[in-house]
Structure 1
Amino acid sequence: MHSLYSIKVEWSAAYECIISLYAYIYEKERKHLQLGSAWKEETTRMLPDSFAAELADERWEVLHRLVLLVAQSPRKASVADFLEWLELIPPGEIYERLAPWVETIPLNLGEIRDHSLSLLKRWNEHYFSKVEPRILDSLEQSARQTEELAKTLSAIETIDQVTHGIWIEPMSELQEVVLIPQYHCAPTSVLDFHRGIATCLYPVRDAGRLHPEPLLELLPITQCLADEKRLQILRCLSNGTCTLGELQQQVSLAKSTVHHHVTALRRAGLIHAHYTGSSTIAYYSLRGQFIDRLPVLLHSFLENGGKQQ
């Protein structure tokens, strides 16, 4: 039997600065994000033309390494504080901090650090420093709420609740999961495994709003339930767990199409995605609590008159 890992809840604006740049750069993922293309266009207007052009060609693949460094940094009270620490830390120390967790570390750590630092400094200057403070306050509040939640639920249940369906199975090599609230990639969770540690940047969809907006959770659920193939997938999973291949056989669709459907169902919180020590989903199961959650959301939406705060 595998021992259960522990969880740690982290919060620093440095995490959100990194994830916001990630959201801006990755075109393929942005169509799934709550902020959408309008945010990209608005943000581009805030950037110098030369910097926007540089980011348009960017292939920035070091998100998880930087997230691990933020988690270990003794200086992260602010973005500027973390970036100053990152600038001064010797490449050898970066290697020592990453070596226990990352299997392959590039030899040119100094160059990667300098490049990442240049991007983040300019991103912070032109965009992130201008983000509505209420958004960051909401994320900090979410971190405190998740810490309280973890006192009453198991580690697995806590992760499931804040991510709306990510289920990280206990594995002998997995020691700790770091939970970090984020806004810019909502409703997606950004999950990475690094040997004995996993980092999960979980979504806070209504960060910055004065009151919770039920429509942000209600709309993805109702959109999923309005699709016949997604309903068939839910019925398959009501009979037990299934891998992607097993679901494909049962609903007779191309694997890429089934993957698209289960991704939408997972983001809406209707199914669990089970992970067994890597960032590849092992199998899926029904997340039955959405059945009770739906009328609550619907009542809340109707009572509020559908007004966004």
Structure 2
Amino acid sequence: MELIFLGTGSGVPSKERNVSSLALTLLQEQNSIWLFDCGESTQHQILRTSIRPRKINKIFITHLHGDHLFGLPGLLSSRSFQGGDDLLTIYGPEGIKEYVETSLRVSGTHLTYPLSIIELSEGKLFEDDTFKVYCKKLHHGIPSYGFRIEEKDKPGELLVEKLKEKGIHPGPIYQQIKEQETSVLPNGDSISRADFLGPNKKGRTISILGDTRFTENNREFVSESDVLVHEATFNHASEQLAEQYFHSTTTQAANLAKNGSVQKLVLTHISSRYQKKDYQDLVQEARAIFPNTELAHDFFVMNIPAKK
């Protein structure tokens, strides 16, 4: 599992930062990629990575401002020419269905794969064998959402020594024991999997917030996240501007990370008013409050290792 930041700027593209898009690669977990926002030129950014568009099977749009979705029609169209034939599901605020369907209809675009569009409401968005995904409405000028991705706990390691003590030696039976609640041994005895597994491996949690003013109402939603991806459009000195434009500052994001007991904070959605010479100051503002902070840049990759 890793995060690939395809665009980390806000409002308009700049020479250093494209507008918002973030990929969560789940190739080992589900052989798929989830995309969060799809600003202008996202598919151009993808060309500079190892991402295969046909592997993208879910796209989450945080809100309907152009810097978060103007790249969506182009990506949907191109996927038809890049081997994508599996179902693609788009999740977004009310209006996303009209936007996508109108864009495809007016441009005469015909997709070669099935497309599902789901408009958001707060709460659990979906659950599958591996993940539970929740969404929460944030505080922005138009409806904007955050997403919380919870990986389910995995079964612990087989207690090999305990199996050997019972006379069960390595072989195909070990895989059977791990996969089935009850297994029948060659001698006819039945054993329970629970008796021969160590503690469950705790799953990972990632919170990805769209554009938002700072509010403590988001603390519970991001609580205990292994990674929190939070906008930091402005520096600490520009708190009034952040309030005016429904955005957050570096220090506000850091305070949420600290108060929410998250493990790591990644700042993104950086205003083009800040240049390379300013980046160290931006991240240091946040680190003064929450030391484990990174400032994302385009093509920044963050691995999120499985817990032991």
TM > 0.5 between the two? Answer: no
- Please give the TM-score of this superposition, normalised by the length of structure 2: 0.23
If you compute each CA radius of gyration, which structure gives the higher value, 1 or 2? 2
User: Higher RCO, 1 or 2 (CA under 8 Å, sep at least 6)?
Assistant: 1
Structure with the bigger percentage of strand: 2
